[in-house]
A and B are shown apart, each in its own frame.
Chain A
């Protein structure tokens, strides 16, 4: 178990280096000029360009620049400053990440609740009315774009019914003093309901299908027949013998999806104007702000690697074949 964990962590570190390097190279080779962006675009002064180029070492070769970036990141945990407005990127991410995390974790809870209940029920009663309804739901969930769903939800629940706000984020721990913005747990929850469901719908649909297929497959396993032959009631069979086996692949997918989504749920954040990482990313890209984009990418990479690690540990805990291999 220990060796398994060490191996996984070493893998994560190697992947981190590779991914940051590749994104660095892509941005480096891309047709953008950070110095010009920092100095005000087309009206940039020659002196300013020179100053910025020297300050950031933009005229240095790729490996030197990458090393400067890597050194700053690893040894000082510093993502640098925005090329667009000079803000500290650590600050930008620290502000945006909780918004995205609220959206993703809340959404994950919702999509898992939908996926488990619908998936298991439709697996137990294939071709029943419920199963068919669930499959229609899956089709809609997979086909409908989150922006479209977001707009529909906003119109129906926000505008027509007036049940929920239609945009913006409310801080869980209270709004900054004097900002006049809503804050606190209840406001947070109230503002997140629509984004959660919008974000969760696609995943819920994918997961309903996955849970249903896995449960149906596991129900046909020989050990389920053994459990029946032992005289176990169906409920025990489902909980103790079927679900644990059927949910193994679901755990893997969940970890990966949460990791990826933490890099920014771009569409949902845009529709509801949530100041999360996805929005930060979009603003960064459109402003040629390579430093900010790189910051979000680094954060997303760490999130994905971390969640993969968590999945690996969870997997080993659930499945003895991996733990003891």
Chain B
């Protein structure tokens, strides 16, 4: 049985301009100890999906439907009290900006101890020892001294390590990492990703990693969900996705990866703007930006269907599979050129 099973999740925000459908019928599942990557550009609904699962959206003007089944119980309909017991204990979360995610007026030790004591009835001494253990595990040098320091005395990378320590402190079954490396510089990004992988082996947690960076996904994920305009457009194992991408949007994402081996004037980009979720395009939401667009794309929403070759590989595009395989092969060939 899957650890977390999300079915037809929908979240919309009621704004003064109208209803914004931030998540529109998203389904996926996370297996124990596995890593799921959710990829998409800003506003594709990837963060909101996870915030909805955690019940962390602002309550005002937000409606959610669907199911997020955690160990047989629907998180979306749970009482606040039950949900609180799960948050930070069974499911924990790391956020994008480590500079603002820690409370500036409390020492990091106090914030870690709070995380322990919210879920365990233990003394300060025990909680502190556990906090120290985690700070060492995430590689904070001189943890014994630094535990009493305040967030502003840490660098961004070190703060993100503290956030990871705080997220893992109660040994959660699932860790949701919302763009954990976006605000960090490249060397620190690599360190944090390595750290997360190592800790995953150590703690055995499943991870949902939200990112707009396919490189991060390639590095960490077992399965990948590609989101566009509040919907899932492609879903596959990481291997399958990178070897046989089936959606023009995924091609666009892969084609726009920067390369070190070729000198180019400009990076390739997907033309146009992300869709407005207030008034999304009819039919396939990617059609205004798609270079393979057909008449049917403008009127009919493509269903998320398995490919003939691999039933676990889902994609939502009207193109025929032959064309898609051919285009994917062409793309991969061009990406491989020069490196082989």
Contact = CB atoms under 8 A, between A and B. Distances in A.
Interface centre among B84, B89, B163 (most CB of A within 10 A): B84
B5 interface: no
Contacts of A221: 100
A247 to B, nearest CB: 10
Contact of B86 (A228, A231, A236): A231
A225 B152 CA distance: 18
A30 interface: no
Given A225-B56, A225-B95, A321-B152, A231 B105 contact: no
Interface stretch (B30-38, B113-121, B201-209): B113-121
A244 interface: yes
Interface in B113-136: 114-115, 118-119
Contacts of A244: 105
Interface centre among A223, A230, A236 (most CB of B within 10 A): A230
Interface string A228-251: 111111001000110011000000
Interface string B69-107: 000000000000000111111001101010011111111
Interface centre among B89, B93, B163 (most CB of A within 10 A): B93
Contacts of B106: 240-241
A270 B87 CA distance: 58
B93 A229 contact: yes
B54 interface: yes
Interface string A216-230: 000001110111111
Given A223-B100, A244-B105, A232 B114 contact: yes
Contact of B103 (A227, A318, A324): A227
B100 A231 contact: no
Nearest to A222: B100
Given A320-B152, A321-B152, A324-B153, A229 B100 contact: no
A71 interface: no
Nearest to B84: A231
Contact of B118 (A223, A232, A321): A232
A231 B119 contact: yes
B166 interface: yes
B180 to A, nearest CB: 13
B28 interface: no
A227 B92 CA distance: 11
A11 B252 CA distance: 61
Interface residues of A, number: 22
Interface residues of B, number: 29
B150 interface: yes
Given A222-B95, A225-B56, A320-B152, A230 B104 contact: no
Nearest to A241: B103
Contacts of B102: 223, 226
A162 B102 CA distance: 55
Contacts of B118: 230-232, 236
A319 interface: yes
Contacts of A240: 106, 114
A225 B102 CA distance: 10
B61 to A, nearest CB: 11
A236 B114 CA distance: 10
Given A321-B152, A324-B153, A231 B89 contact: yes
A318 B105 contact: yes
A16 B88 CA distance: 53
Contact of B56 (A223, A229, A320): A229
Given A229-B87, A230-B87, A231-B86, A320 B105 contact: yes
A233 B84 contact: yes
Nearest to B86: A231
Contacts of A320: 104-105, 107, 150, 152
Interface string A142-174: 000000000000000000000000000000000
A248 to B, nearest CB: 8
A227 B102 CA distance: 9
A237 to B, nearest CB: 10
A324 B101 contact: no
Nearest to B54: A229
Contact of A230 (B105, B107, B115, B152): B115
Given A231-B86, A231-B118, A321-B152, A226 B105 contact: no
Interface centre among B87, B103, B104, B115 (most CB of A within 10 A): B103
16 contacts: A223-B100, A223-B102, A223-B104, A225-B95, A225-B101, A226-B101, A226-B166, A228-B87, A229-B95, A231-B87, A231-B89, A236-B118, A320-B150, A321-B104, A321-B150, A324-B150
Cβ-closest 8 pairs across A and B: A231-B88, A230-B88, A231-B87, A222-B100, A320-B150, A223-B103, A229-B93, A222-B101
Given A241-B103, A320-B150, 18 more contacts: A223-B101, A223-B102, A223-B104, A225-B101, A226-B103, A227-B103, A228-B87, A229-B54, A230-B114, A230-B166, A232-B88, A232-B114, A240-B106, A318-B105, A319-B104, A320-B105, A321-B150, A321-B152
Interface of B: 54, 56, 84-89, 92-93, 95, 97, 100-107, 114-115, 118-119, 150, 152-153, 163, 166
